[in-house]
Amino acid sequence: MLRDLLWNAFEKTGEIDKYIFYKEISEKDVVKNEIVTAAEEEVAISK
């Protein structure tokens, strides 16, 4: 939701700050997903 808002703001204004913030949020989301996946795999292995 925040990513969409930032992307739309970047498209409308062209301000690079909004794009950089968008990319930072996207990268953190990818890292979070990797951590969740690894944790799920550990739980599946331990069962």
At 6 the pLDDT is: 93
pLDDT at 41: 85
8: confidence class by pLDDT, cuts 50, 70, 90: very high
> pTM of this prediction?
0.68
pLDDT at 43 over 90: no
15: left (phi over 0), alpha (psi -120 to 50) or beta: beta
Q: Which residues of 2-31 are buried (b: 16+ CB within 10 A; e: fewer)?
A: eeeebeebbeeeeeeebbebbeeeeeeeee
pLDDT tens string 10-41: 999 999 999 999 999 999 988 888 898 988 88
